């Protein structure tokens, strides 16, 4: 349909989650999201040397449950968000220099391009799609779904092996304070997704991609970082703040083995680190996993096993100790998942997760220690 100039895409996702073991209390939860996107190829539509225009919106339903009763660093599901209907992305893109340089400007989800592992996207825990470090250390959990940000993104393709990406964005599109106890994700400050704030700071991303085959097995290796010019609260005294913030990261996506034509084993590992331990809740995070594509002779299915951790700042641990609270340390998350591609348009995904030491060891609202958690989920997605 895009060959004629316009393509409309609709995706509906629904999830059921149960936490019978651990956390602050046992719970059962439903969350869902419907996304509608219209892509317009202006060159195909008009015949003029123009690019692509994209607009999308999403309707989010259900009640978030990862802050309470789970008390985890990152969301259990990568669609979990506050209950709103909102504008998602709005952008224009154009290619130059024989399509080597791709320019995009508008309201962007930078998680599509930066800090992302293609193998990690097979998992449901949000930490595998958008890392714990960026989620906790940037404003509004970072410029990712459902909160997008005004930005410019450049991609330069030097060769088949080398890609270079750069983005300059607003670091706090909602304009809310970094810490908001009544609305931790700040999404309800801008429920429609139409607010544009340019008063706090700028966020810059840079990333280099290198692709190569090793003995016929494809690998992609990424090295990147971000720099934020805004102000961030001190982790030991929230009355203080610090100017600027930064982090670096590396990602490896690698095919390990082919088993005939239909089945292959892929793996990923990703590490994130920042030296600004006084202004960041998470100072380093590591995650990784394996994904078997085409198990049991089913070409489009995926079986995945992943694990990761996020380590809290020593400044935050010191503040906890002074307050007589357990010192936050390291949270560990594990996931076993299976994607069943029942039809070309319907995918079903049962999922099991385990969280060890939620938020590095914290107390719930009743002053009780939050216990290790077992979480069971069922994800369904319909795409048109």
Average pLDDT score over residue span 46-69: 95
Q: Which residues contact 384 (CB under 8 A, 6 or more apart)?
A: 9, 10, 11, 345
- Pairing relationship of beta strands 101-108 and 85-96 according to DSSP bridges: antiparallel
Please tell me the distance from the alpha carbon of residue 348 to that of residue 124, in angstroms, as a whole number.
12
Residue showing tokens 């990152």: 74
Q: What contacts 343, CB < 8 A, 6 or more positions away?
A: none
Query: Over 60: is that where the pLDDT of 1 sits?
Result: no
User: Looking at residue 180, what is its pLDDT?
Assistant: 86
Give the Cα-Cα-Cα angle 144, 192, 56 (nearest 5 degrees): 60
Asked whether residue 77 carries a pLDDT value surpassing 80, the answer given is yes
Task: Report the alpha-carbon distance of residue 24 to residue 187 in Å, rounded.
Answer: 24
Q: With pLDDT > 70 as the criterion, what percentage of the chain qualifies?
A: 99
The Cα–Cα gap between 217 and 233 comes to 45
Q: How many domains does the chain have?
A: 1
Q: Which two tokens stand for residue 171?
A: 């670091």
Name 19's bridge partners: 27
Q: Angle at the Cα of 189 (from 183 to 192), degrees rounded to 5?
A: 130
pLDDT at 219: 97
SS3 at position 375: strand
Query: No. of H helices and E strands in the chain?
Result: 4, 16
Residue with tokens 């660093």: 73
* CATH number for position 291: 2.40.160.180
What is the DSSP annotation of 179-245? --SSSTT-GGGSTTS-----SS-EEEEEEEEEEEEETTEEEEEEEEEEEEEEEEE-SS-TT-EEEEE
Residue-wise pLDDT tens digits, 280-330: 999 999 999 999 999 998 999 999 999 999 999 999 999 999 999 999 999
pLDDT in tens, 208-218: 999 999 888 99
- What's the CA gap between 150 and 137, in Å, rounded? 19
Looking at residue 257, its pLDDT comes to 95
Domain that holds residue 262: 2-383
Q: DSSP letter at 325?
A: S
Model confidence band, residue 3 (pLDDT cutoffs 50, 70, 90): low
If residue 305 lies in a helix (H) or strand (E), which one and from where to where? strand 302-312
Is the preceding peptide bond at 3 cis, omega within 30 degrees of 0? no
Task: Considering only the C-alpha atoms of the chain, give the largest distance between any 2 of them, rounded to a whole number of Å.
Answer: 68
Task: Give 339-366 pLDDT, tens digit per residue.
Answer: 999 999 999 999 999 999 999 999 998 8
Q: Where are the alpha helices (DSSP H) in 56-107?
A: none
- Ramachandran area for residue 253 (φ above 0: left; ψ -120 to 50: alpha; else beta): beta
């Amino acid at each position: 349909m895009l060959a004629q100039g316009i393509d409309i895409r609709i995706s509906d996702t629904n999830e059921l989650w149960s936490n019978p073991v651990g956390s602050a209390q046992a719970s059962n939860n439903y969350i869902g999201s419907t996304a509608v996107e219209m892509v317009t190829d202006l060159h195909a539509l008009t015949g003029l040397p123009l690019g692509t225009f994209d607009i999308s919106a999403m309707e989010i339903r259900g009640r978030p449950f990862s802050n309470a009763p789970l008390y985890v660093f990152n969301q259990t599901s990568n669609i979990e968000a506050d209950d709103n209907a909102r504008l998602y992305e709005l952008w224009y893109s154009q290619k130059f220099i024989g399509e080597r340089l791709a320019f995009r400007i508008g309201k962007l989800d930078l998680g599509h391009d930066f800090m992302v592992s293609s193998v990690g996207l097979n998992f449901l825990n949000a930490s595998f799609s958008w890392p714990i470090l960026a989620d906790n250390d940037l404003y509004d959990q970072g410029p990712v779904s459902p909160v997008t940000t005004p930005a410019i993104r450049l991609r330069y393709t030097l060769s088949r092996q080398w890609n270079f990406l750069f983005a300059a964005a607003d670091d706090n599109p909602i304009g809310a304070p970094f810490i908001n106890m009544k609305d931790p994700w700040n999404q309800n400050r801008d429920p429609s997704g139409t607010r544009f704030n340019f008063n706090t700071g700028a966020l810059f991303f840079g990333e280099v991609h290198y692709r190569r085959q090793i003995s016929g097995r494809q690998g992609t290796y990424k090295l990147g970082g971000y720099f934020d010019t805004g102000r961030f609260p001190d982790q030991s005294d929230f009355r203080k703040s610090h100017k600027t913030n930064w982090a670096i990261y590396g990602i490896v996506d690698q095919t390990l083995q082919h088993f005939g034509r239909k089945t292959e084993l892929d793996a990923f590992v990703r590490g994130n680190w920042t030296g600004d331990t006084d202004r960041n809740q998470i100072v380093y995070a590591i995650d990784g996993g394996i994904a078997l594509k085409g198990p049991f002779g089913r070409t489009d299915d995926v079986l995945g096993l992943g694990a990761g951790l996020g380590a809290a700042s020593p400044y935050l641990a010191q503040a906890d100790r002074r307050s007589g609270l357990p010192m936050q340390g390291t949270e560990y998350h594990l996931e076993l998942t299976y994607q069943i591609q029942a039809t070309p348009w319907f995918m079903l995904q049962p999922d099991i997760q385990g969280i060890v030491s939620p938020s590095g060891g914290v107390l719930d609202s009743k002053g009780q220690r939050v216990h290790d958690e077992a979480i069971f989920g069922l994800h369904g997605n319909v795409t048109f």
